[in-house]
Amino acid sequence: MIRPAKSTDLPAFHAVMMAAGMDARSSWNRTTLKDLEESLFALAAGGFVAVDREEVIGCVGFRPDGPETLTLSRLAILPQSRGQGLGAALVRAVEGRAAQHGFGRVLLAVSQFNLDVVPFYERLGYRQSDERYAFASLGSPAPLVLVKAIKEGLS
């Protein structure tokens, strides 16, 4: 089941992120519960969780980046729960949110330490962009930006 993330989900959301197996050099691994709370519960931001038997097994966040762009972030699935379509379902939930709230596109950034996930996003219709990622972590290599149009004519 996919549902909106609640504040009580923060510890589980964080635990899923940390269990995802991101390269140790990634800023992802330095995300604290406080960082997560500030990003997920900022104005117009939020997230979704995938739940199985009351356990959070997947997560994704989103936040607005201007009037046309909803930025997807922190997509993670527990290793033992992968291969069931949960990642795609969480991405579709963010895309649905974008469409529902009038955003023209969804943007995401892939860490240079996690480029193996690019084909997953490309299968979902995301395309590489040359634009700079507004939320890039200082001291980390510039991430690869991927974009998917939600409204016709935008990218």
List the domain boundaries for the chain: 2-149
pLDDT of residue 152: 58
Looking at residue 102, what DSSP letter applies?
Answer: T
pTM of the model: 0.90
Q: Which CATH superfamily is domain 2-149 in?
A: Gcn5-related N-acetyltransferase (GNAT) (3.40.630.30)
Q: 97-132, pLDDT tens digit by residue?
A: 999 999 999 999 998 888 889 999 999 999 999 988
Percent of the chain with pLDDT over 70: 94
Q: 43-66, pLDDT tens digit by residue?
A: 889 999 999 999 999 999 999 998
How many C-beta atoms surround the C-beta of residue 88 within 10 A?
14
State the average pLDDT for the chain: 90
Asked whether 33 and 11 are in contact (CB, 8 A), the reply is yes
